[in-house]
Amino acid sequence: MQPDPLKRLDDWCASQEDKPTRPEGLRRLFEIGLGHAPKRGRLTHAARAHASALAGEVVDQLNDASAPPEEQAKRKRKLIHGPREFRDVRQDQHHTDARPSGKPKRP
């Protein structure tokens, strides 16, 4: 480790009541970091549904009321799901369905 992070680690260890050693301090900080890490980087189904509903409300407010309802729905879907070329690389989407063509399922 570089001197600056080592000093910060030593300062953190010194600030603890039981004054852990460097290895023990690293272990504790590692555990703290893992405890705050998101699980698999995925949102729960409920969180995704809530985010989608909020996005839908915003798009509804910005939508062109003079367009036909079918066109409004098409525009809304395109805005919420994003361009097709980017859907395959989005990390927040689940692409677990194996399709016969080898392509991921379209959201």
Higher pLDDT, 87 or 2: 2
* Residues 60 and 98 grouped into a single domain: yes
Contacts 24+ apart (CB under 8 A), 57-60: none
pLDDT in tens, 39-86: 666 678 888 888 888 888 888 888 888 989 999 888 888 887 777 777
Give the residue numbers spanning the domain of 94: 44-107
Global pTM exceeds 0.75: no
Cα–Cα distances in angstroms (integers) from residue 71 to residues 65, 81, 89, in the given order: 10, 15, 26
Biggest CA-to-CA distance, the chain: 69
3-state helix, strand, coil in the chain (%, to 5): 60, 0, 40
* Residues 26 and 48 grouped into a single domain: no
Q: Which residue type occupies 36?
A: H
Measured CA angle at 43 (ends 40, 49), to 5 deg: 160
* Residues 51 and 74 grouped into a single domain: yes
* Residues 31 and 48 grouped into a single domain: no
pLDDT at 13: 93
* Residues 56 and 96 grouped into a single domain: yes
